Chains A and B, each alone.
Chain A
Amino acid sequence: MSDATLSGSKTPTARSLVSALQLDTRLLGMIGAFVVLCIAFNIFTDGRFLTPRNIFNLTIQTVSVAIMATGMVFIIVTRHIDLSVGSLLATVAAVMAVMQTQVLPTTLGLGLGNPSIWIIALVVGLVVGAVIGAFQGWMVGYLGIPAFIVTLGGLLVWRNAAWFITDGQTIGPLDETFAMMGGAGGTLGETWSWIIGLVAVAASIWLLLSARRRRAAHGFPVKPVWAEVTMAVIISAAILGFVAVLNAADIPTQRLQRMFAAQGQTMPEGLVMGYGIPISVLLLIIVAIAMTIVARRTRFGRYVFATGGNPDAAELSGINTRLLTVKVFALMGGLCALSAAVASARLGFSTNDIGTLDELRVIAAAVIGGTALSGGIGTIYGAILGALIMQSLQSGMAMVGVDAPLQSIVVGIVLVLAVLVDILYRKRTGD
């Protein structure tokens, strides 16, 4: 307590400001790079990049890769790799598409448009994803086949298993409720978005307060009050700002007309409605919170990081590292299934090439987000930010009009540079 009050009374310089707020300097660096990137694109696109409409699109485009990237963090932290996520996504998307267009409505006789179809299809997909993931994890953990090989095989197997399930056809249109997971087709609207935003603000402040109370109760040093207040203000502003931007993304008039027409009404003249938070983005936020809790607050998460830091020590501490491998891959499979739902819902169809090259995007997102391939280090929020940076880079370049081959070249270079910067940073801080 005493040293905390001491540092609070000093005039805050930039360095002590960061340390008093106990901010992650790596996170700050990444956010800084992201902001610079966005501003640069905004200048080159004459202000088209940072419009609410484009930010809305960016968040929707990021979701599928970002959800898988959170699982990839655990995989890479335990010193493994999963090259099969894009193909697994395709297989699960095919399974879910066939379920909701053929098996459930026709074979089981539920009829098209039955309200239970979306949830049954989703649950079946999640189970299939988790089982396939667990199977790959079993081969890695119990049979001792390197994850690189198992999932390289998986990359070929599941991509083409998807082909067999669908006979190479595009399956659709998907169930209407299911398709709401895709993005623009399913948003919360302005009112609910504000409610969710306010609840999130209240929850964050409550978390900050209760963490402080707990530490004080144990007599541990706590941050100075002004630092806590600053954090609370920054977090609240970020949440509400995000909601405001998504609410400012107006639904195109034609789409509004269709929505009203679908309910048998005519659209009032001059009506403007914002999208609000897309359901897919809400899904990503829920996944991010859940995965962060798993990483930090559960034994499973603790063991994931311990095993990545020192597999022998984990084993000697009585941790069943083989079973842990199975669980980590099963979780990855489940998240692939969720991404498959979002990706196919966004298209409205399940196509053969869905998720192609996603394995590389997902791994790049995790690595740009600070996950170390040597294991033991990585954060969920880092991976999501990594996915967002990748997506911004790609769509930003497309908006500027960079040639497609050059886009990929730039993304490749950025990936390598990001890791180099990370290595240099770790060397300097001795992390």
Chain B
Amino acid sequence: MAAPLVKKPGHGGTPLVEMEDICISFGGVHAVDHAYVDLYPGEVVGLLGHNGAGKSTLIKILSGAYRPDSGEIRIDGKPATINSPRDARSYNIETIYQTLALADNLDAASNLFLGRELVTPFGFVNDDQMEAETRKIMSKLNPNFKKFKVPVKALSGGQRQSVAIARAVYFNARILIMDEPTAALGVHETQMVGELIQELKRQGLGIFLISHDIEDVFELCDRLTVMKNGRVVGTARTEDVTKDEVLGMIILGKCPPGAKPGPGAMAEDAEAA
């Protein structure tokens, strides 16, 4: 990066996450092509791009859903092996998927603890303890939440979202991935998610925010990385670029002067011609 930027909390040290030179192909299509992203503690990094730009795929590599063909993931500067969602969780990486990834037929507590159930000394699942913990965290996240005993299928979009968020927050995430967290939400609920992100930032979490919504990204993110056709177009601090410039990055792959270009940026001379 060029001139030293204004010192921000957490910046300057080792990045929380670095994903370097990540490649993955599906049947000959380069879904992610030599991509680089990084994330510092207490920072929100937006990932933007069209459908199929590779942002969700890139992030699914971090959350353990896909294994990259090549490239390196470093957590706290140390190389990390993430082969499964379980591995990702062991690095305190939590993901809120666009689809929320909830088992609709189970109640809130069972979903919150899915794969990490609290058990009694005899090894049986401790539903009461889990319900108590769920009630505790929900009273902070969404005090209106009352339906603890019904399948999450019966909940509203916002309530389902709070279950998914509670699941990510409960287990002391250090790295949080949010894939279109507000896509299915109303105005009020979107605002709640925004406030939550600010709060988590203050607690020092690093957050990757995948979004289509430029307004959201400019409001919530410290930096943003734009992808196109599987390649990184460029990375910029939000205050160094305008919304129009970011749209240019998304649509044309044109990297503005305020951003650091990636391999996906349109060549300079092509632009001049």
Contact = CB atoms under 8 A, between A and B. Distances in A.
Interface of A: 214-215, 217-218, 220, 293, 297-299, 302-303, 305-310, 312-319, 376-377, 430-431
B6 to A, nearest CB: 38
12 contacts: A217-B128, A218-B132, A297-B125, A298-B125, A306-B103, A306-B110, A308-B105, A310-B102, A313-B100, A316-B63, A319-B115, A430-B154
B114 A298 contact: no
Interface string B112-138: 001111010001110011011000000
Contacts of B154: 430
A306 B85 contact: no
A297 B189 CA distance: 34
Contacts of A310: 101-105
B40 interface: no
B105 A313 contact: no
B97 interface: yes
A269 B97 CA distance: 77
Interface size class of B (residues with CB under 8 A): 20 to 34
Contacts of A313: 99-103, 111, 114
Closest 7 CB pairs of A and B: A309-B105, A317-B115, A318-B86, A309-B103, A376-B105, A313-B101, A306-B103
A218 B128 contact: yes
Contact of B125 (A302, A308, A317): A302
Contacts of B100: 313
A315 B97 CA distance: 13
A317 B85 contact: yes
Contacts of A215: 128
B84 interface: yes
A272 B63 CA distance: 70
Contact of A298 (B104, B111, B123): B123
Contact of A316 (B85, B110, B128, B151): B85
A232 B144 CA distance: 34
Contacts of A297: 124-125
Contacts of B124: 293, 297-298
Most chain B CB atoms below 10 A, which of A217, A298, A305, A306:
A306
B89 A318 contact: yes
Nearest to B132: A218
Contacts of B241: none
A309 B104 contact: yes
B104 A376 contact: yes
Contacts of A377: 105
Interface string B240-251: 000000000000
A316 B65 contact: yes
Nearest to B123: A298
A377 B104 CA distance: 10
A299 B65 contact: no
Contact of A314 (B63, B86, B103, B151): B103
A298 B124 CA distance: 5
B80 interface: no
A94 to B, nearest CB: 36
Given A308-B105, A316-B101, A220 B114 contact: no
Given A298-B123, A313-B103, A376-B103, 19 more contacts: A218-B129, A220-B128, A297-B124, A302-B117, A302-B125, A303-B115, A306-B110, A310-B102, A312-B101, A313-B101, A313-B111, A314-B115, A315-B65, A316-B63, A317-B101, A318-B86, A318-B89, A318-B116, A431-B151
Identify whether the interface residues of B are mostly helix, strand, loop, or mixed: loop
Interface string B143-184: 000000001011000000000000000000000000000000
A299 B101 contact: no
A306 B114 contact: yes
B192 interface: no
Contacts of A312: 99, 101
A209 to B, nearest CB: 14
A431 B151 CA distance: 9
A25 B272 CA distance: 72
B125 A299 contact: yes
B95 interface: yes
Contacts of A307: 103
Contacts of A314: 103, 114-115
A377 B110 CA distance: 15
Nearest to B85: A318
A299 B95 CA distance: 22
A218 B85 CA distance: 32
A318 B115 contact: yes
Contacts of A220: 128, 131-132
A314 B97 CA distance: 13
A293 B85 CA distance: 28
B185 interface: no
Given A376-B104, A376-B105, A317 B132 contact: no
Contact of B103 (A217, A298, A305): A305
A299 B119 contact: yes
Contacts of A316: 63, 65, 85, 95, 97, 101
A46 B97 CA distance: 63
B141 interface: no
B106 interface: yes
Contacts of B89: 318
Contacts of A302: 106, 110, 114, 117, 125
Nearest to A319: B115
Contacts of B114: 302, 306, 313-314, 317, 319
Nearest to A429: B154
Nearest to A297: B124
Contacts of B129: 218
Contacts of B65: 315-316
Contacts of A430: 154
A286 B104 CA distance: 30
A79 to B, nearest CB: 12
A270 B189 CA distance: 79
A297 B128 CA distance: 11
Contacts of B117: 299, 302
B147 to A, nearest CB: 13
B84 A318 contact: yes
A316 B85 CA distance: 6
Nearest to A372: B105
A364 B36 CA distance: 55
A305 B106 contact: yes
Most B Cβ at <10 Å: residue of A217, A310, A315, A376: A310
